Amino acid sequence: MEDSRGLVLIAEDERAIADIQRLYLSRAGFGVHVESDGLVALSQIRRLRPVAVILDVGLPGMDGIELCRSLRQADDWTPVLFVTARDEEVDRVLGLELGADDYLTKPFSPSELVARVKAVLRRTSGVPGSKRLVLGPLEVDPLHRTARANGADVVLTATEFDLLAFLMQQPGRVFSREQLLSAVWGQANYAAGRTVDVHIAQLRAKLGAYSPIVTSRGVGYSAAQPAVPQA
């Protein structure tokens, strides 16, 4: 089969798990490169420029958390899906705060992994014909997947971008965490509402005074036109 969907790099030190991931991703039309060491994986990500990275947290050489941190500090925003044997909230939240786009806990269905990769790449690719979204000094271009606040570029992960664009498409409407999980992540029940809260916090931190996100306590989130800060 021709690898028409692009290359996915798997960083996984458990051979059996890596082999299953490779098999299912290959069947779905992806090229696959596997590394079992974190330091080597980081070097290969920079060399091969994959369309997505599946990153085990517990890697030798350099763990997944540090690997993701290194990518983001170098302004490499390749979509990252964390995989871990642990299901502690601190692991999930830390991964998301570092800029991960999704999170899976072992054991998981390899079919679900493929679906998650496809969902992240759909978000990354943009939607032809989508109109620019403008709220005051904040402008989002869904086609080119760019965001600008008061004329300055804002670097967002694929998931952060999709969440912001979704809220801006219907300004003033309040969405529950479950609705946002369903619309942005494509899964209504796969993660706790804390996942949404972390991404909202990251968006607010990056957008600063130009953030349009409003919290409706006990209900959810909406987008409203932000005020222009006074000089």
pLDDT of residue 126: 56
Strand 31-35 vs strand 7-11: parallel, antiparallel, or unpaired? parallel
Q: How crowded is residue 125: how many other Cβ atoms within 10 Å of its Cβ?
A: 12
* Same-domain check for residues 208 and 145: yes
Asked if 173 and 112 sit in the same domain, the reply is no
* Residue 192 belongs to domain spanning: 133-223
Residue 213 lies in a domain: yes
pLDDT reported for residue 206: 92
Tokens standing for 93? 């939240």
Would you say residue 2 lies in a domain? no
Do 26 and 109 sit in the same domain of this protein?
yes
pLDDT at site 189? 52
d(CA 139, CA 150): 8
157 in Cβ contact with 53 (< 8 Å)? no
Residue found by looking up tokens 């369903």 in the block: 182
The C-alpha angle 223, 229, 231, rounded to 5 degrees, equals: 170
Whether residue 102 is contained in a domain is answered as yes
Domain CATH number, residue 37:
3.40.50.2300
Q: Are residues 39 and 141 in the same domain?
A: no
Tens-digit pLDDT string for the chain (231 aa)? 334 578 999 999 999 999 999 999 999 999 999 999 999 999 999 999 898 999 998 899 999 989 999 998 888 888 999 888 766 655 666 667 777 888 888 888 899 899 989 888 877 665 544 678 999 899 999 878 899 999 999 999 888 998 999 999 889 999 988 888 877 876 655 455 678 888 899 999 999 999 999 999 888 999 997 765 554
Q: Please state the φ and ψ torsions of residue 31, each to the nearest 5 degrees.
A: -80, 150
Residue 231 lies in a domain: no
Q: How many CA atoms lie within 13 A of 105 on its CB side?
A: 9
Q: Are 159 and 196 in contact (CB under 8 A)?
A: no
Give helix 64-73 / helix 38-48 axis angle, nearest 10°.
30
Check whether residue 117 and residue 32 sit in a common domain: yes
Say if residue 13 is in the same domain as residue 78: yes
Cβ 220 vs Cβ 177: under 8 Å:
yes
